Amino acid sequence: MHSLVRTATAVLLVAALPSLALAQASSPPLTDAQVKARVEALLRQMTLEEKVGQLNQIAGGLFPGAKPEGVIRQGGAGSVLWLNDTKKFNELQKVAVEESRLGIPVLFGLDVIHGYRTIFPVPLAMAASWDPSVHERAAAVAAREARAAGIHWTFAPMVDIARDARWGRIVEGAGEDPYLGAVMAAAQVRGFQGPHLGAADRVLACAKHFGAYGAAEGGRDYDPVYVPEGQLRNVYFPPFHAAVVAGVGSFMSAYMDLNDVPAGGNRWLLSDVLKKEWGFPGFVVSDAMGVGNLLTMGFAKDRGDAARRALAAGLDMEMASGVFPENLARLAKEGALPMARIDDAVGRVLAVKVRLGLFERPYADETRVFSVLADPAHRAEARLAARRSMVLLRNERRTLPLAKTVASLAVIGPLADSKADTEGSWMVFGHEPAAVTVLEGLRARLPGAKVVHAPGPEIRRQVPSMFDQFTPGPKKPPQTPEQGEAAFQQAVETARGADVVIAVMGELANMSGEAASRASLDLPGRQEELLKALVGLGKPVVLVLLNGRPLSINWAAENVPAILEAWQPGTEGGHAVADVLLGDASPGGKLPVTFPRSAGHAPLYYARNLTHSPEGSRMYNVRYWDLPPTPLFPFGYGLSYTTFSFSNLKVGSPQVRVGAAATVTVDVTNTGTVAGDEVAQLYVHQRAGSDSRPGRELKGFRRLSLGPGETQAVTFTLGPEELRYWSTSQGKWVQDAAAFDVWVGSDSTATLHANLEVLP
């Protein structure tokens, strides 16, 4: 064994780059003065009605009978959403550019969440890569495909912190942690938008849903949120702020009440914090029907009141409820709304259109769409991203990797051969799922082996999803109990003859996402029962999980020898799972969320404050009398096919003054016999100060690839950025002179410890 010591720099992956011949023209970055001059010139020519039109986003095709042409011709729509048709984009744009009085182009927006044609792992999975470069490139590929198809604006990234696994939309974000969330938010903004708004092959990004949507009471989607200012600023806002710093051009307000004021009508949120304090220069769009909701939610007394209060609060564009066009001009004429606010909102929308280069390049090039969407480099990126996002949760007796000589495999479970569920939630409208399933991936990887399959009993939501109507293909009637039983028996019989069983289980795509919360975190349907029967056959069983949220797989965690969390891995998912199961890639992802033992644990997250009975004390375990209070798998957790050790933890200057930075170094060694990835994670705890602080907070991480026996030194910086926080007792940001615990290790339970003291 040899030992190499070198300073860790960001791991640069060799990415296949899209071929340059297909590049789209770029608009040069414009100065603020250039943009301002053009926007003001436009504003001078616009009627009040045309101004209001720019603040109106209309449905372009989702609802039957939607006829946007007439509205666009009148200058009555600044943006169109829910349309995914390149030819139609160009037809509508022609109406805007050639037939409306001022020829202002329309901004076409769509939810391009984890891919357009090439689907990447769901965002929660991408966060599990702990590799912002992979997330940035995924967003760049999604942007390139979407832009080629004529889309200018994606409603992504979703940067809501989610600490309650019951909440369905946990799948759309980066999980529970503000530090990891902020890094991933910035990476996605860079990926979607590129170096500047208007860069070739990129789109306008939208940080959503501002703010604290993920703190819905009981994890019930859309429910009210009560979060104090300190927690908003320390936990829920950092990813949004990071998106602003990364230059995000738009924001979306959230649906729900935030401390009894709907986010879409919340002046403190949209104007005081976002626009004034953070200096956000872009525009804010409501969530769908969000302005109309101000009425539904018992905040506004009528639609006029909703329009007035939303705009006055700082909302700039309305999504789909038609309240602005119905009321804003009248309100302005009556003097109920200052013209300056309307001009500011319109100016923000126009400035983005100018920067995007829409006036110069309003149309999509229909000849280039096919070749961009078929670019093989995109699929290569998706496979790499899927490999890097997988988390090995358990691997007893080295069950994995499988021997490359394995002769027969049974691939069992309702998700083993489902393209839609391999891609996961949030497909763009009209998308036909085309993922390589786990079954297909294993068959392709093992052409000489006998690979048999049985799905077992179906799984299904008890309450259908409101989005099912938009998914293509015929809808199957539910299985009868007898059919389910026959499928169960068939699955066990199929497995009986194989050498190794791969159980592919978890959740359907529509079991997470919007309006997809759950009251239980167990494996749905009869999956656990089937798993028990498969383990009972006495063969090696590997559980491959496809899911969009933490699951309380307590039985599996103790009885199934190997468990790979593959999330919803996207187009190349089946190939990537085969790569990992056969050892062509060693899993190196880490959990971006705590896995609770039960839904009754929720919300459960690692960064909790210390208490009367601290963790590790005798009293700690009596938090519940029926279940240990500890997580099933902690935040940051993930195994590898090799082993690692952390040593030589040093704080460069153990005493620093407030405002100064300390360096923290540690050596990470691959102590095993194969290459693998480890994520060095830095946690801190402030021992005393103005406020109580969490027992641990992530403040740095680095994913490393290490050969057998190799050691890398990793350096982190702990400065005022990492050590300050919003103090509730002081009502402002503070950095206390205080003593800190510092830990570095492979997950949030790291034990390698050092001290840091911050002096006044």
- Select from 583, 130, 593 the least CA-distant residue to 395: 583
CB of 290 to ligand BGC, least distance (A): 8
Q: State yes or no: residue 162 binds ligand BGC (CB under 6 A).
A: no
Residue 347 DSSP one-character state: H
Q: State yes or no: residue 287 binds ligand BGC (CB under 6 A).
A: yes
Single out the residue of 39, 100, 108, 111 in contact with ligand BGC (rule: CB under 6 A).
111
In the shown chain, the binding pattern of residues 474 to 513 toward ligand BGC, with x for contact by CB under 6 A and - for none, equals ----------------------------------------
CB of 21 to ligand BGC, least distance (A): 33
Tell me the DSSP string of 444-494. Answer: HH-TTSEEEEE--S----SS--TTGGGS-SPPPPPPPHHHHHHHHHHHHHH
CB of 266 to ligand BGC, least distance (A): 16
CB closer to ligand BGC out of 287 and 507: 287
Q: Are 149 and 369 in contact (CB under 8 A)?
A: yes
Q: How many DSSP H helices and E strands does the chain contain?
A: 23, 27
3-state secondary structure of 574: helix
Q: What is the dihedral of CA 489, 493, 496, 502, to 10 degrees?
A: -70
CB closer to ligand BGC out of 208 and 355: 208
CB of 514 to ligand BGC, least distance (A): 5
- Please enumerate in sequence order all residues whose Cβ is within 8 A of that of 340, keeping only pairs 6 or more positions apart, or say none: none
CB closer to ligand BGC out of 145 and 287: 287
Q: Are 84 and 380 in contact (CB under 8 A)?
A: no
Single out the residue of 153, 155, 324, 633 in contact with ligand BGC (rule: CB under 6 A).
155
Q: Are 285 and 57 in contact (CB under 8 A)?
A: yes
CB closer to ligand BGC out of 515 and 754: 515
In the shown chain, the binding pattern of residues 233 to 272 toward ligand BGC, with x for contact by CB under 6 A and - for none, equals ----------------------------------------
Beta bridge partners of 36: none
CB closer to ligand BGC out of 308 and 549: 549
CB of 111 to ligand BGC, least distance (A): 5
Tell me the DSSP string of 508-542. Answer: -GGGSSTT---S--SPSTTHHHHHHHHHTTTS-EE
Q: State yes or no: residue 514 binds ligand BGC (CB under 6 A).
A: yes
Question: Is beta strand 206-210 parallel, antiparallel or unpaired with respect to 725-727?
Answer: unpaired
CA distances from 561 to 393, 556, 634 (A): 10, 8, 19
CB of 456 to ligand BGC, least distance (A): 33
Q: Is 468 noted as a catalytic residue in this protein?
A: no
CB closer to ligand BGC out of 176 and 514: 514
Task: Considering the candidates 177, 287, 316, 747, report the single residue annotated as catalytic.
Answer: 287
Phi-psi region at 150: left, alpha or beta (left = phi > 0; alpha = psi -120 to 50): left
CB closer to ligand BGC out of 321 and 640: 321
CB of 81 to ligand BGC, least distance (A): 6
CB closer to ligand BGC out of 155 and 237: 155
- 139 residue type, one letter: A
Q: Which helix (H) or strand (E) holds 716?
A: strand 711-718
Position closest to ligand BGC via CB = 155
Q: State yes or no: residue 318 binds ligand BGC (CB under 6 A).
A: no
Single out the residue of 166, 190, 208, 348 in contact with ligand BGC (rule: CB under 6 A).
208
CB atoms within 10 A of CB 391: 25
CB closer to ligand BGC out of 204 and 758: 204
CB of 181 to ligand BGC, least distance (A): 16
- Select from 708, 682, 624 the least CA-distant residue to 183: 682
Q: What is the dihedral of CA 437, 441, 444, 450, to 10 degrees?
A: -90
CB closer to ligand BGC out of 211 and 561: 211
CB closer to ligand BGC out of 208 and 590: 208
CB closer to ligand BGC out of 58 and 288: 288
Beta bridge partners of 732: 727
CB closer to ligand BGC out of 122 and 495: 122
Q: Scanning residues 326 to 385, which ones bind ligand BGC (CB under 6 A)? A: none
CB of 758 to ligand BGC, least distance (A): 40
- Starting at the edge strand that comes first in sequence, how are the strands of the sheet with 541-546 ordered? 391-395, 562-565, 541-546, 500-506, 408-412, 450-454
Whole-number Å distance between alpha carbons of 597 and 604? 10
First CA to last CA distance, the chain = 47
CA 193 from centroid of its chain's CA atoms: 16
Q: Total residues contacting ligand BGC (rule CB under 6 A)?
A: 6
Single out the residue of 288, 438, 544, 714 in contact with ligand BGC (rule: CB under 6 A).
288
CB of 188 to ligand BGC, least distance (A): 14
Q: State yes or no: residue 221 binds ligand BGC (CB under 6 A).
A: no
CB of 39 to ligand BGC, least distance (A): 26
Tell me the DSSP string of 134-192. Answer: HHHHHHHHHHHHHHHTT--EE---B------TTSGGGGGS--S-HHHHHHHHHHHHHHH
Length of the chain: 760
Q: Scanning residues 170 to 189, which ones bind ligand BGC (CB under 6 A)? A: none
CB of 85 to ligand BGC, least distance (A): 16
Helix-strand-coil split of the chain, %, nearest 5: 35, 20, 45
Residue 263 DSSP one-character state: G
CB of 208 to ligand BGC, least distance (A): 6
Q: Scanning residues 601 to 660, which ones bind ligand BGC (CB under 6 A)? A: none
- Please enumerate in sequence order all residues whose Cβ is within 8 A of that of 489, keeping only pairs 6 or more positions apart, or say none: none
Burial class (CB in 10 A: 0-12, 13-18, 19+), 536: exposed
Whole-number Å distance between alpha carbons of 505 and 415? 6
Whole-number Å distance between alpha carbons of 68 and 96? 10
Token pair 């590790």 is at which residue? 616
CB atoms within 10 A of CB 177: 28
Q: Are 72 and 93 in contact (CB under 8 A)?
A: no
Catalytic residue numbers read 287
Binding region for ligand BGC (CB under 6 A): 111, 155, 208, 287-288, 514
